Chains A and B, each alone.
Chain A
Amino acid sequence: DTGVSQDPRHKITKRGQNVTFRCDPISEHNRLYWYRQTLGQGPEFLTYFQNEAQLEKSRLLSDRFSAERPKGSFSTLEIQRTEQGDSAMYLCASSLQGGLPYEQYFGPGTRLTVT
């Protein structure tokens, strides 16, 4: 079990550019979550997948954000036309099913800086 991995760990981009992040969950986990975390705050839920189906999206996920999990394994989060307000840590987590109680396993995150 190698845990949840995220790539890249750090990304610096200029405003207006597109960026894509990747998350590899724990292999047998069928649920995958994306969160955003700004300095001094707890993680905020963005969206989650059960297998390849995206089941819920937060209002935080504007039209510039899109997430995919094409084969129910890894996932990508793309931000188009980045803005300075998108600067944050983007966290991915995975879990088995969604019933209670369950544990979410988090990756180390991708820190995005938009200049």
Chain B
Amino acid sequence: DAKTTQPNSMESNEEEPVHLPCNHSTISGTDYIHWYRQLPSQGPEYVIHGLTSNVNNRMASLAIAEDRKSSTLILHRATLRDAAVYYCILRNYGQNFVFGPGTRLSVLP
């Protein structure tokens, strides 16, 4: 399975942007980049996904490097409710999701 590397933890101040990095140097041409997050005491929830182009949705933006070996999840204005563990996952057709330990994001008021 393709692997990703994320920092163990990050901190942000409320109402400031947050950039969560993910390295995936062994990504293949057909691997999609998925981001999920897990709020305390809940199951993971989908945030965003992309293949080559940058993506925006109501929750976040995904910036994908030109060589696709890294990506960044951008939360434009962090709120206390965004405190969670964020998982960056690569997935190709026919593969299951492989979750790493993720990045624990703390949001300070």
Contact = CB atoms under 8 A, between A and B. Distances in A.
Interface of A: 4, 33, 35, 40-45, 48, 56, 91, 93, 98-101, 103-109
The 8 closest A-B pairs by CB, nearest first: A42-B99, A106-B43, A103-B46, A45-B96, A43-B99, A101-B32, A106-B44, A101-B49
Interface residues of B, number: 24
Contact of A108 (B42, B51, B94, B100): B42
User: Chain B contact residues: over half helix, strand or loop, or mixed?
Assistant: loop
Contact of B43 (A100, A101, A103, A109): A109
Could you tell me the dominant secondary structure of chain A's interface residues?
loop
A15 to B, nearest CB: 25
A93 B34 CA distance: 16
A8 to B, nearest CB: 14
Interface of B: 30, 32, 34, 41-46, 49, 51, 85, 87, 91-94, 96-102
A100 to B, nearest CB: 5
A100 B97 contact: no
5 contacts: A42-B99, A43-B44, A105-B46, A106-B45, A108-B42
Contacts of B92: 100
Given A93-B44, A100-B91, 10 more contacts: A40-B101, A42-B100, A45-B97, A56-B96, A101-B34, A103-B46, A104-B46, A106-B43, A106-B45, A107-B43
Given A91-B43, A108-B42, A100 B32 contact: yes
